Amino acid sequence: MGNTKIDYINFRIKRAEESLSDAKYLIKGGSWNSAINRLYYSCFYAALALLLHKNIEAKSHKGVRGQLGQKFIKPGLISKEFGQIYSDLFDFRQKGDYGDFFDFEAEKVIPFVEKVENFLKVVKELIYLEK
């Protein structure tokens, strides 16, 4: 028996929640770059779930960011603030993962925990509470 669309959506939401949990753990240890990576992936997995929910395909990280902006932020289904959070984390992850001699600090990372929690809440509402 194959997996259904809702199975994939639920799996991605679970991955989003796990990535957020991982970020919190990494923050406790002061691993700022790794925490940013996990915060970004939390949003990325949630965005993938939302796109799948609406049968929208994206083949890359940039594609997910573009589709999220075009299909959800521009029409006002998700606030511009959440679009900015996603974009900032996208850029920060690139710097943290690929930038030489670049280290994030607590002041930059910690505020994103609550922002990502709120992003996940909004995405889950759009998926699970939609009629």
- What does the domain layout of the chain look like in residue ranges? 5-128
Angle between helices 5-28 and 111-128 (to 10 degrees): 170
Picking from 88, 83, 79, 90, the residue whose alpha carbon sits closest to that of residue 111 is: 88
Q: What is the pLDDT along the chain (131 residues), one digit of tens a residue?
A: 678 999 999 999 999 999 999 999 999 999 999 999 999 999 999 999 999 999 999 999 999 999 999 999 999 999 999 999 999 999 999 887 787 777 889 999 999 999 999 999 999 999 998 65
What's this model's pTM, rounded to 2 decimal places?
Answer: 0.93
CATH architecture of 5-128: Up-down Bundle (1.20)
